[in-house]
Amino acid sequence: MKRLPAAALLTTIALAQQSPAQQSSPDTSLNIEAPPSARADVTSIDFEVRDNLVTFPVLINDKPQAAVLDSGAGAIVVDDKAAAQLKLDAAASDGEVAGAGAQAQRLRPVNLASMSVGSLRFENVPGYAVNLEQLSLSAGYPINVLLGAPVFKDHVVTVDYQRKRLTFAASGKGPACSRPIPLEFVHDIPVVVAELRPTPGAAPVRLRLLVDLGTRHHAVLLGGAFARSEAGKALVRAGVPQQVGHGTGGAVQGSVARTAELRLGAHRIDEPQVALTTGVGAFDAAGVDGSLGAPLWKEGAITFDYQAKQLCLPDLPS
């Protein structure tokens, strides 16, 4: 994987409100014995859903770490403290994370000699060391590693929330998809084109949205140029002000509003609730209008096929 430029989008993970339940200290013990599938072209492991995040153990340089699968990350990201414990040789800062919140976080290139996810093993993987403390505080448990683009690029990845099963299939061996949604990529992060009708009588607005497993508590989070447009400003005024997220730079304030309709390929969602904010610099850095989040697909399964450039979603409520 080629190194991301310093200003590139790394992650919009943990864009969710912190609840009192998240402030506890849950058991973070790791089980690294998750059995792979018997088929040679398919590997499956179990995961936990913790505050809508897909969490499971990995091995970094043969040492167990708690990881979160993050399609909103264009790289492997290791927390600064974990990187020090793993004795990763972090280079000088490459720039700042274009994430969410006001606090800037520095990123330093690192190289992982090996990384194992179930029976999959990756060698000589470039990544970044970043302070993930704000994300861990938001989630209510330590997040040491974010697994981004490198674990998606060469496999068909299915996240089955109902069965709590993560499957990596060889290219062309993934599940059938009756209504695939085309994908494009920005810094190796998947993006879909959607149409949002803000109000019943309004014309639809074309949006480019990240598909982000780390956007936890909002099915649709809007920002970037759309949040500054007249349509976006009108929705903000009509919505309820509240904290809408928590990213690498801290809390994110915004507004939550009801809209008329959202279309994603052949999928249609009537009267979706959306969150809006101007506090996510990652959207502007990537040139997108927002993100789709876990509540949209968490009752079923979502499949990413980077090589075929398509996304498969469960049947969505209409």
Bridge partners of 192, per DSSP, are 209
- The DSSP line for 153-168 is TTSEEEEETTTTEEEE
What is the pLDDT at residue 286? 86
Contacts of 85-91 spanning 24+ positions with Cβ under 8 A: 86/60, 86/61, 88/61, 88/112, 88/129, 90/129
- Measured between alpha carbons, how far is 99 from 282 in angstroms, rounded to an integer? 5
Query: Which of the 8 DSSP states describes residue 290?
Result: E
The 3-class secondary structure across 28-92, one letter per residue, is CCCCCCCCCCCCCCEEEEECEEECCEEEEEEEECCEEEEEEECCCCCCEEEEHHHHHHCCCCCCC
Q: Are strands 145-147 and 63-69 parallel, antiparallel or unpaired?
A: parallel
Instruction: Give the count of beta carbons closer than 10 Å to the beta carbon of residue 68.
Output: 28
Torsion of CA 196, 283, 251, 144, to 10 degrees: 120
Q: Are strands 310-312 and 205-211 parallel, antiparallel or unpaired?
A: unpaired
Which residue, among 84, 304, 20, has the nearest Cα to 180 in the 3D structure? 304
- At the fourth CATH level, the homologous superfamily of domain 181-312 is Acid Proteases (2.40.70.10)
What is the pLDDT at residue 75? 92
pTM score, whole prediction:
0.85
- Measured between alpha carbons, how far is 131 from 9 in angstroms, rounded to an integer? 15
- Measured between alpha carbons, how far is 46 from 286 in angstroms, rounded to an integer? 32
Which residue, among 236, 241, 214, has the nearest Cα to 223 in the 3D structure? 236
31-169: CATH architecture: Beta Barrel (2.40)
What is the pLDDT at residue 139? 86
What is the pLDDT at residue 20? 33
115 phi, psi to nearest 5 deg = -145, 125
Q: Where in the chain is the domain with CATH 2.40.70.10?
A: 31-169, 181-312
Predicted confidence pLDDT, tens digits, the chain (318 residues): 344 443 344 444 333 333 333 333 333 333 333 333 334 689 999 999 999 999 999 999 999 999 999 999 999 999 999 999 999 987 766 555 544 444 556 889 999 999 999 999 999 999 999 999 888 888 889 999 999 999 999 999 999 999 999 999 998 899 999 999 999 999 899 999 999 999 999 999 999 999 999 998 899 999 999 999 999 999 999 999 988 876 555 677 899 999 999 999 999 999 999 999 987 888 888 899 999 999 999 999 999 999 999 999 987 765
**Is there a contact between 301 and 294 (Cβ–Cβ < 8 Å)?**
no
